[in-house]
Amino acid sequence: MSSVTSSVAPLLYRPEEAATVLGIGRSMVYEEIRLGRLQTVRIGRRRLVPPEYVAAYVELLKREAETAA
């Protein structure tokens, strides 16, 4: 069997991958999840972050920055 590398974007990120995409640390991702600021889905015991939830979190950060200014 040959392995084929595909360039398909992931539909779900592990928290560590979400941290990389967001440019923040893994513990910060877990803290934001705990606070309910970064939403996740559960599959069994795993928490995964859809890309649209990452985008929604970024929008939340932008709104907070605008109101703080």
Q: What pLDDT shows up at residue 4? A: 63
Q: Which domain holds residue 44?
A: 15-68
Amino acid 55 reads A
pLDDT value at 44 more than 70: yes
Asked if the structure places residue 42 within a domain, the reply is yes
Element (H, E) at 43: strand 41-43
Residue 9 lies in a domain: no
- 13-40: pLDDT as tens digits: 999 999 999 999 999 999 999 999 999 9
Model pTM score: 0.84
Within a domain: 37: yes
Instruction: HSE, CB side, 13 Å, CA atoms: give it for residue 22.
Output: 29
Would the pLDDT of 6 be above 90?
no
Kindly state whether residue 4 falls inside one of the protein's structural domains.
no
Helix (H) or strand (E) holding 47: strand 46-48
Give the pLDDT confidence score for residue 52 in this predicted structure. Answer: 97
| Residue from 59, 57, 62 nearest 32 by CA | 57
Core vs surface per residue 14-24: b (16+ CB within 10 A) or e: ebebbbeebee
Task: Evaluate whether residue 19 is within a structural domain.
Answer: yes
> Domain tally for the chain?
1
Is 22 a domain residue? Answer: yes
